[in-house]
Structure 1
Amino acid sequence: MQQLMHRLVADPGLGSLVIETRATNETIRFQIAADVRCIRVVESLLGELVPGMQTVKAGVRRAVTRAARLKVTHPLLALDTSRIEAVTRALLAGLSGLRTGEQLVLQLFIGGRVAPMLSRRPPLEARQSWWSLLNHGARTASGDELARVRERRRQHGALVSVRLGAEAATPQKARALIQRLFGALCTIEAAGVRLRLWPEDPAKLHQVRRPWYYGLQLSSTEIASLTGWPVGEGDLPGLPPVSPRQIPPPNWLAGMHQRLAGRVFARSSAPGRPVALGIPPRDALLHTVLLGPTGAGKSTALEHLALADITAGRGVVVIDPKSDLVTDLLERIPTERVDDVVVLDPTDPGPVGLNPLAAATRQPELTVDALLATCKAVFADSWGIRTEEILTAALLTLAKVGGPAATLVMIPSLLTNPAFRRMVTRKLHDPLGVSAFWAKFDAKSPEQQATEIAPVLNKLQQFVIRPQLRAVLGQTQPRFQLREVFTNRTILLVSLNKGVIGSEAARLLGSLLIGQLWPLILSRAALPPERRHLVSIYVDEVHDFLHGIPGDLADALAQSRSLGVAWHLAHQYRNQLTPAMRAAIDANARNKICFGLAAPDARDMAAMTSGLEPLDFIRLPRYATYSTAWVDGQETGWISGITLPPHPSQRPAIDARAASRHRYGIPAKETETALTQLTSHPIPTAPATETTSPPAPPTSPGEFGRRLAPTKRRQK
């Protein structure tokens, strides 16, 4: 601030300047006025010399009812500017605590400039009496006074008129307010220099009239001390806290609203005119990461971006492990797009199905490779060679055979039920491949088989033991295919409520879904670039589901960008991600939205900025953000903002769910009945007088499927 004031005072070409600090019960405003021909130059200097300052056109100024003008007892002596921060703090405290309808104004009218000068002779002591002067002669000022005067003369200065104004319910109250502000100004007094108040016409202050007599000649440092404009690093009275810092958007961003195409998630929170913060469709392909704890506002930002894509007619996938985001979207999706909505919710009585093996007969090896990559990533801690061999054979068998048996939930039955296995494998004609594997497998004893398949069954039990997952993954021919997101621009909302289906089941199903999306994304390479319309994928709690992407995540994000798929990845804290995931997201998610963070994450994100400290991220309140994005090929830099409130609800979510169930769902009871019939075989009924033996126990814990109940030995 001192540097700014030095520059303004040093340039006589700027003409007269008026600096005002105006306070009400709601806010403290800092205003500056200049000649019309110079105002652009002054505005430019403000932006260049005070980083982060944003200027806006001042509104209507309220008139004051009482005013006063500042005088000093010895104008030739300098004021005490050694404690400028303390003076500023006192002034802002004096401007604070006003009631409704009250205001206080501190106005500095800066006129003619005074150049620096040499001290030809030391000033005389200002406090020497006439009697002492006549009897002892003139005495030189003290050392402290000399130092302050020399410092003043070394600086540029100006003629200044300082006015104080107040508005209150009564004249007495207005007088008291002015006196309070004057008391704060007195903290700049020095030895031999006292401030005094002189009555002033309130109209002169309100109309900013040029004074006929300025009364003060001040240095640039003295002027800076009297303005009350913020200086120093700490929090100041009457002003928002320094941390979290309010960072304004670049000036060019205000003209980019049309480019955002409705994809707005927040507005800027720095003083000045609010500017929309968003990510245009084209720049969304640079991918977006949202970081913040539960309840910070991530879902609200995701809702705005997803609704913008839905409204624009794009294909959208939303994976939500809490179901709140899906519910909010269902309530707000435009009416004309409700028919495009598919809700995949395992807890639904008639859920939408997901069967990766349904269309695998054409390229079974590719389908199996994708499924194996997902399983291997999900079960990385307990994955072995034998597990991979058995699971590969089981998946290839079901993929090649097809038909009612080709579902993931049938793998345990294929491994544990000899009759079902014979029924399936007899359709195979692969003597050098899976047929040979099953011949060798069937030649082993039941004990050996149980030992080998136990690790596989332990992993796949999540698919079978939970009725909700069976209802989704057990559908032989689902009514919805994932490719419709890309071909028909369908809206797929995946609700994986961990509290209902379990966190492990949600993780498995979400990873499986992403694993099935990935080949469809890669298949877009066959399309010319102009036909690769934007498809947006939103994943909350992304650390649970990114295992579904095979290979290197950084390469996957880079490939998605060229194939027209934009990823929006949200998570709570960075340690949820593996180091490789963190590095990939940091490098490839160029749009970043941060909410209030814990200390470790705050340090990491502050290191990616220029000008923000970890404490700024830590102190962000709910729904407040720091974000950096790309807009029309330009990076905005980090901007402080507030997320927009949710859109108004248009319908109960249950209506959209019912419509999706009617078009794409299959009742869970039907799926369960079909699975039961598929694995059941006729068993001779024992006579009423005979007691049948109990069913044989499974060969190992965690074994699924059905075995034939023991019967009397058949005669050959």
Structure 2
Amino acid sequence: MTRPDLHWTQLHFDQGVDQAQVHDSLTALAVLPFAPLVVLELIGRHGQVSWRIGAHAKDVSAVRRALAAHILGLRLTDETSGGTLDRLRLAAAVRLGGWSLPLRKESAEPVARGLYRVLAGTTSDEMIRIQLVLGQRFTPRRLRDDEPAGAESARHVAEHGFRVSLRVGVNAKSEARARALVRDVGSAWRALEVPGVIVELWRTNPRTVTDVRAPGWWSLRLRVDDLARLVGWPITPDLPGLPAAHPRLLAPVGALKSGRRLGIAQADPSAVVRVSVEDSLRHLHVIGPTGVGKSTLLAHLALQDAAEGRGLVVIDPKGDLVRDILARLPEDRRDDVVVLDPTAKHVVGIDALGGPAPDLAADTILSVFHALYADSWGPRTQDIMHASLLTLARAGGLPLALVPALLTNDGFRHQLIGRLAADDPLGVGAFWSWYAAQSDAMRTHAIAPLMNKLRPLMMRPGLRATFGQQDPRFALRDVFAKRRIVLVSLAAGRLGPDGAQLLGSLVVALLWQAALERVQVPAERRHPVMVYIDEVQDYLHLPGSLSDALAQARGLGVGFTLAHQHLGQLPPSLESALFANARSRVSFTLSSKDARTLASTANGLLVPEDFTSLPAYHAYAQLLVEGSPTHPVSLLTEPLAPPIRRAADLAEASSKTYGRTVAEVDARLTALATGTDPQDVQNPPPATPANTAAQNPSAVSTDAPKDGERFGRRRRTTPTTTPRKENPDDN
């Protein structure tokens, strides 16, 4: 009879198994209530060996508990194929002559080696399926008078036992090859023979094996001690056909049917490793050196998000990731693409100081500069930068690139600060009053440290154009409002490391500021937005606590995928934030130090050598599934699909749509700074002598006495003074 209702469970001996554990687990099966039918299988195909156990659905839990209680590190996973295997060309059943005698006790390891040698020799179109059907149980007893006496025989009958059907089924290209494989399996079993006990193989219908038919006559009656020699579990670690000891091969606990695809489960090529969108909002941490497959994984995920219509942002330090994505984006999303590349002919601008909350925008920019230049950032630099940013932001969101002009161009400064100072006399008003009271030499000395930090932005035409547009054709809020795909190509080799870090950090910080505005949107309308940051340590400089920000991001519908090369790159605050809040992790090959750290998070299933021996494009994935952490799984990332267009064509089209030339931006900046185009200056103060002078920069004296009068305080003038030496910490 067939057994279509059997439920199959894969066995994964992650920590190996010894003969005593095999014996104890089989004994546990023998004493289960109601003697459920149990089927044990040892399978060889493609040169690899696997194990599984079958039982009726009502008995699965009891069978699993019986095994797990006695085998340390055993993992049990559902058979993803549903239990179906290839058809068989040939099958044979085993009989033992003299079946009441014990088999050779010391033969367990030789039998295992012989079997695994045959199983490991299978080719891609061959399969060997060894099947043990465990039927009626029998209990321990004493020797009968008609049985051979002796201590060994007495111990043998004192064991629990089963009525057993032992079969082997083979699939091969030819009948001759199938016969040879069956004979080789039989030869391995003959190592069990003792005087009076012989192993015989009799041909049977292959459907007996494929359908797991219960026999009409149970040919074997085996005690647990004998059965332990036949079950074929890996009782020694160096058997042929087993995966290498390191990296350990871990199968998935359960495969999601939908969600973002990470790759293939290496232990089961039919299973896809996925993470749901909801779990992705709890963030993904990707770690591994250059060349192991991180960028390929990020590109796969980003392309899936694009195909699903989500908004996304990619921060790419080198530009290769952006090119890979551009070349493969779905055609129906090409109009949503915004490429931020300061080296392009048309540069997309970022309105750093605009938006509904000017003070918050100023604070966000200030926090980024403070974080990037923390080692040389003093209180005076903090005051000057803060006042400058607040002034530009409150004046209608003037471009960040105008900070140097605000500090050095008296006419431009006078034009802005009149009404702003009146509205905030104790804040920016007091600062500009102090600033106006300084001599030119003192001003130059005071602003020198800040001007030095602004040079990466001002000296690179592309960066200047990025942050020099007052009314850019794109806003980062469009990622949330219009589901834009924003690809930031930092091209550190052309921008320089300082410029690339400044651009990446400002984009991430401003994006976070825009994300915080989602609190005004009902939760059910906050569609997921995914943010990818490669070399995260260089670009994640958010105001306040990183841990709090990552924890808050999920509620805002923002999922971060944060990648880097090794833990030593991360400052302590970022490392602790990642380990606390990135609930899923993909680890490629690691250094010994990092391997020790991450092995400690693997629930005892992995050791450092597993991480250090991973080949390229192989990884361990520890994922959140339906809000709960799962065991690691061996992941094989997949190659990208062939490109469908030239990446440069889509990048150029995006730049023309959303960008402006450097010459155009510089002309508008000059007009703003010199007052030659008053229409571009937002909220000009009432006309005053100072304003009139500001419109003609050449008429403005470097020590104009009207400055002091403007703030109710006359500036002291000194014929020649030597600027005081600034405290090294005050820069």
Do they superpose with TM above 0.5? yes
Q: Which amino acid aligns with 2:341?
A: D
2:394 and 2:262 mapped to 1: Cα distance? 47
Q: Which residue of 1 aligns with 2:390?
A: 396
Q: Which residue of 1 aligns with 2:44?
A: 23
Q: Which residue of 1 aligns with 2:612?
A: 618
Q: For residues 280-330 of structure 1, what are the alpha-carbon distances to aligned partners after superposition, in whole Å with 9 as ceiling and x for unaligned? A: 2x3333222222322333333333332333233332222111222222222
Q: For residues 200-252 of structure 1, what are the alpha-carbon distances to aligned partners after superposition, in whole Å with 9 as ceiling and x for unaligned? A: 235489667877886754321321222323335x353113235444444445x
- Deviation (angstroms), 1:333: 2.3
TM-score (norm 2): 0.77
- Deviation (angstroms), 1:443: 5.2
Q: Which residue of 1 aligns with 2:90?
A: 64
Native 8 Å contact 1:78 1:193 kept in 2: no
- Deviation (angstroms), 1:438: 4.8
- Deviation (angstroms), 1:349: 1.2
- Counterpart of 1:218 (choices 222, 225, 233) is 222
2:164 and 2:429 mapped to 1: Cα distance? 99
1:12 and 1:526 mapped to 2: Cα distance? 60
Matches within 5 A, 1:589-628: 589-614=582-607, 615-628=609-622
Where structure 1 has 5 or more consecutive residues not aligned to the other structure, the ranges are 125-139, 683-706, 709-716
Native 8 Å contact 1:290 1:570 kept in 2: yes
Q: Which amino acid aligns with 2:231?
A: T
1:485 and 1:302 mapped to 2: Cα distance? 18
Matches within 5 A, 1:241-640: 241-251=244-254, 253-254=255-256, 256-257=257-258, 260=259, 263-271=260-268, 273-280=270-277, 282-357=278-353, 359=354, 364-401=358-395, 406-416=398-408, 429-430=421-422, 433-434=427-428, 437-438=431-432, 440-441=434-435, 444=438, 447-547=441-541, 549-614=542-607, 615-640=609-634
Matches within 5 A, 1:158-197: 158-160=162-164, 162=166, 177=181, 180-188=184-192, 193=195, 196-197=198-199
1:204 and 1:432 mapped to 2: Cα distance? 92
Instruction: Report SS of the residue matched to 2:543.
Output: coil
Q: Which residue of 2 aligns with 1:114?
A: 138
- Deviation (angstroms), 1:665: 0.6
Instruction: Report SS of the residue matched to 2:89.
Output: coil
Decide whether aligned partners of structure 1 residues 446 and 533 sit closer, same or farther in structure 2, where only a CA change above 3 A counts: same
Q: Which amino acid aligns with 1:63?
A: R
523-532 or 343-352, which deviates more: 523-532
Native 8 Å contact 2:90 2:206 kept in 1: no
Native 8 Å contact 1:317 1:494 kept in 2: yes
- Deviation (angstroms), 1:386: 1.7
Native 8 Å contact 2:89 2:178 kept in 1: no
Native 8 Å contact 1:268 1:277 kept in 2: no
Whether 2:97 is the aligned partner of 1:97: answer no
- Deviation (angstroms), 1:589: 2.0
Whether 2:206 is the aligned partner of 1:201: answer no
Q: Which residue of 1 aligns with 2:689?
A: none
Instruction: Report SS of the residue matched to 2:483.
Output: coil
590-599 or 375-384, which deviates more: 590-599
Instruction: Report SS of the residue matched to 2:292.
Output: coil
Q: Which residue of 2 aligns with 1:711?
A: none
1:558 and 1:278 mapped to 2: Cα distance? 18
- Deviation (angstroms), 1:351: 1.2
- Deviation (angstroms), 1:381: 1.6
1:12 and 1:437 mapped to 2: Cα distance? 85
2:54 and 2:362 mapped to 1: Cα distance? 72
Q: Which residue of 2 aligns with 1:128?
A: none
Q: Which amino acid aligns with 1:225?
A: R
Decide whether aligned partners of structure 1 residues 408 and 110 sit closer, same or farther in structure 2, where only a CA change above 3 A counts: closer
1:199 and 1:428 mapped to 2: Cα distance? 98
2:436 and 2:124 mapped to 1: Cα distance? 88
1:16 and 1:592 mapped to 2: Cα distance? 40
Count how many residue pairs are aligned between Structure 1 and Structure 2: 646
Native 8 Å contact 1:303 1:329 kept in 2: yes
2:41 and 2:350 mapped to 1: Cα distance? 67
Q: For residues 149-181 of structure 1, what are the alpha-carbon distances to aligned partners after superposition, in whole Å with 9 as ceiling and x for unaligned? A: 343223212344655676778888767655544
Native 8 Å contact 1:165 1:202 kept in 2: no
Decide whether aligned partners of structure 1 residues 110 and 433 sit closer, same or farther in structure 2, where only a CA change above 3 A counts: closer
- Deviation (angstroms), 1:116: 0.9
Native 8 Å contact 1:266 1:644 kept in 2: yes
Decide whether aligned partners of structure 1 residues 612 and 502 sit closer, same or farther in structure 2, where only a CA change above 3 A counts: farther
323-332 or 374-383, which deviates more: 323-332
Decide whether aligned partners of structure 1 residues 177 and 339 sit closer, same or farther in structure 2, where only a CA change above 3 A counts: closer
- Deviation (angstroms), 1:520: 1.8
- Deviation (angstroms), 1:584: 1.7
Q: Which amino acid aligns with 1:154?
A: A
1:169 and 1:629 mapped to 2: Cα distance? 41
Q: Which residue of 2 aligns with 1:130?
A: none
Decide whether aligned partners of structure 1 residues 224 and 489 sit closer, same or farther in structure 2, where only a CA change above 3 A counts: same
Q: Which residue of 2 aligns with 1:134?
A: none
Native 8 Å contact 1:104 1:165 kept in 2: yes
Instruction: Report SS of the residue matched to 2:90.
Output: coil
The root-mean-square deviation of aligned C-alpha atoms, in Å, is: 3.9
Native 8 Å contact 1:343 1:352 kept in 2: yes
- Deviation (angstroms), 1:278: 2.1
Q: Which residue of 1 aligns with 2:19?
A: none
Native 8 Å contact 1:31 1:58 kept in 2: no
2:217 and 2:522 mapped to 1: Cα distance? 76
Report sequence identity in percent.
39
- Counterpart of 2:75 (choices 52, 69, 86) is 52
- Deviation (angstroms), 1:530: 3.1
Matches within 5 A, 1:226-245: 226-232=230-236, 234-245=237-248
Decide whether aligned partners of structure 1 residues 452 and 26 sit closer, same or farther in structure 2, where only a CA change above 3 A counts: same
Native 8 Å contact 1:286 1:589 kept in 2: yes
- Counterpart of 2:156 (choices 143, 152, 162) is 152
Q: Which amino acid aligns with 1:115?
A: T
Native 8 Å contact 1:595 1:626 kept in 2: yes
1:172 and 1:336 mapped to 2: Cα distance? 56
Native 8 Å contact 2:186 2:201 kept in 1: no
1:57 and 1:495 mapped to 2: Cα distance? 48
Q: Which residue of 2 aligns with 1:131?
A: none
1:267 and 1:299 mapped to 2: Cα distance? 17
Native 8 Å contact 1:21 1:30 kept in 2: yes
Q: Which residue of 1 aligns with 2:723?
A: none
